[in-house]
Each structure stands twice: as structure tokens, then as C-alpha cells.
Amino acid sequence: MGTQTEIPPHAEKKPFLRRLAPDRSQQIRRVAQGLFVLLNGWLGMQFYLWVRYFERGGTGFYVPRPAGVEGWLPIAGFMNFKYFLVTGLVPSVHPAAMFLFMAFVFMSLLLKKAFCSWLCPVGTVSEYLWKLGQRIFGRTLCLPRWVDIPLRGLKYLLLGFFVFIIGSMSAEALQDFMHTSYGMVADVKMMNFFRTMGTTAIVVIAVLAILSVLVQNFWCRYACPYGALMGLVSLLSPVKIRRDADACINCGKCATACPAGLPVDRLIQVRSAECTGCMACVAVCSAQDALQFSLPPNSSAPSNRWHRRALSPRVVVGIMACIFFGLILYARATGHWNTDLPRAVYLELVPHANEASHPGM
């Protein structure tokens, strides 16, 4: 007779050990990551051509300034957001930074830190670096708890520093800052940093890259203040990874697959600020409906089975796209998307962007 498959004892009372359809969340996530990297590459190329036009004194090929590049100015986005909250006015310098900041924070409010694992280009590079490390060494390093926990606090300290500085600025001070030479060409300075990197910057980036190969998500887990903010906001998210203990077969695959090192197999819902909603845990779970990225149970419904309120990866992408493009369209339609500065200002400032020093220095 043929070989018999050994059935685990708990399988008898759990009829659905296999998913009916293969999970596509990680393929869909990789497509979203790839598209966002391409979008950022496209914006970077356009912005470079725009900067070169002004560096040549306003001659040669002109490309309009892509406002989307302000997504790389999260601090300006945060400052403008506070200005908007206090005054009710949309700032005229780097307004797109504010709309993109709001979009990413709103995503975290609804979908945990999905921005970090589905869209952020730095998160994408970080993920591919630790996967490279796994391929080379067969595993990544897991820092002991007494090192891991204090290191994780570093990103909150950085976030606290920015919150303290920006929180203590008045609306007038925020507006004045944005209208200094430094504030107006903060985006050009950011690009020049990468164009003319000094030895120190190269060494720091190389060390971070090596650490990211050795330790999963080193930058995101320990040093990114933007991720820290998203994590804190994500604590309010109604959508969480939820485990149905009745359907779970306790195989532990979800915990092994979790890049944030969370004990998913021992939790009923994952509340942690480290959860990025990547759905890697859901993808490896082979017990039907045991693990879902879902809304809380609806106790007033005829059945309170929470898995009926689960979000598919397509819905996750759809929600993120609606928030992202919805806010951009709103800003465009109301005339608040582009920075409102005359061409003469750029002709004067862009070629000398590196000479513009921080007003606080």
C-alpha cells in the first residue's frame, strides 16, 4: 500500500489545513514596492534635470519641477503640517511635502505601518539587503534583547527630538524658516548631499548597508524616526494581524517568517508598533483562515467570525492608492500642490544651494 500521511492529532478537529487559493500577498507587495521605487527614480531624474537647468543659469532643456520629490522632505512635511493645524492655511513652500506626509501617516492610521513595507524605497532596499544576507550566510543575526530593546528606543529618541523642536516653534517661526534660503532649497540640498557625498557620509552609509545585510531591517528597526512616528500612529489602526486560535495548528511558521521578530503564533492580535502589515506571516500560514490582516470582530453581526472582515492584499494596495492619489488630486485641484516661488528666486538660490546654511546655526 502507499505511504500514509501522518495526521497531527489537532488536525482531526480542524478540517481545513490548506488554503483554497495560494496567497499572493508577497508578489503583490513586491510589485507595489517596485512601482514605488520606479516612481521615485522617475521623480529623481526629473528633479535632477530641473536643478541642472537652474545651475546653468536658466539655459538648456527645461523640465518642470516635480513636486512629488518633496516626499523626501519628511521634516518639512511635519513642519508644514503643524503650520496647517495651527493656522488652517496651506503653506506656499513645500506644500507637497505636507500632503505626502499626511498621506503616509493616514495609511499608518488605517493599515499599520504598511507604508514602510509596501511603499518606502528605503524599506525596500533594507529588505533586499537582509534577504541578500540570508542568501549569503543562510541566516541573519538576531541581537540579544538587552541590545535590541535599547537600540529600538533610538528611533523614538530621534523622533522626540524633532517633535520637541517643531512643537516649540510658533506658526510665524515655521513660516519664516520655510522662507529662508535653506528652507526654500532644502530639496536641492538633499539631492546635492547624494551627488557630492563626502568620505564621512560614504562610510556611514556603507556601515549601515553592511549592518542591514547582517541584521534584519537594521535602519528601519533602530534608526528611522519616520518609521517610529508611523509605528506610534499605527497603534490606533483598527486593522491588525489577527489569529484565530481555533483554526491555528500551532506550527509557528508565522513567527519564523515575521521580519519584525514578533511572536505571531502566540498572539491573538498583533498590536506591536513594529508590525509593518507586510503580511509575510499570513502568506506562510497553511491553516485556512487562521491568520488574517483584518478589522476587529463585528459582535453585532449574525456571525462574529473576524476572518469575514479580512483585507486581501489587493484591498490593502487599493486603500493605499486611494489615499496617495486622492490627496495628490485634492492638492492639485485646489492649487496647493506646487511650491509657489518665482523663477528668479530659483535662478539665484539653486546654483548656490550648498552655501545656504541652517538658520539655527
Among 249, 310, 319, 328, binds ligand SF4 (CB under 6 A): 249
Dist CA 120 CA 41 (whole Å): 13
**Rounded to an integer, what is the distance from CA 181 to the centroid of its chain?**
29
Binding segment for ligand SF4 (CB under 6 A), chosen from 18-26, 195-203, 281-289, 337-345, is: 281-289
Main-chain phi, psi angles of 341, to 5 degrees: -125, 140
Q: Say if CB 183 and CB 341 are below 8 A apart.
A: no
Nearer to ligand SF4, 66 or 227 (CB): 227
Question: Which residues is 293 bridged to in the sheet?
Answer: 241
Among 94, 221, 242, 243, binds ligand SF4 (CB under 6 A): 243
Among 111, 188, 262, 311, binds ligand SF4 (CB under 6 A): 262
Nearer to ligand SF4, 79 or 291 (CB): 291
Decide if residue 251 touches ligand SF4 (CB under 6 A).
yes
Among 188, 213, 258, 320, binds ligand SF4 (CB under 6 A): 258
DSSP 151: H
Among 95, 231, 277, 313, binds ligand SF4 (CB under 6 A): 277
Dist CA 282 CA 318 (whole Å): 18
Binding segment for ligand SF4 (CB under 6 A), chosen from 153-161, 186-194, 225-233, 242-250, is: 242-250
Nearest to 346 by CA among 37, 23, 65, 16: 65
Among 111, 264, 350, 353, binds ligand SF4 (CB under 6 A): 264
Burial class (CB in 10 A: 0-12, 13-18, 19+), 240: buried
Dist CA 336 CA 84 (whole Å): 12
Decide if residue 281 touches ligand SF4 (CB under 6 A).
yes
Decide if residue 276 touches ligand SF4 (CB under 6 A).
yes
Nearer to ligand SF4, 186 or 284 (CB): 284
Decide if residue 254 touches ligand SF4 (CB under 6 A).
yes
Residue type, 231: G
**Cell numbers for 196:** 557630492
Site of interaction with ligand SF4 (CB under 6 A): 241, 243, 248-254, 257-260, 262, 264-265, 270, 275-281, 284-285, 287, 290-291
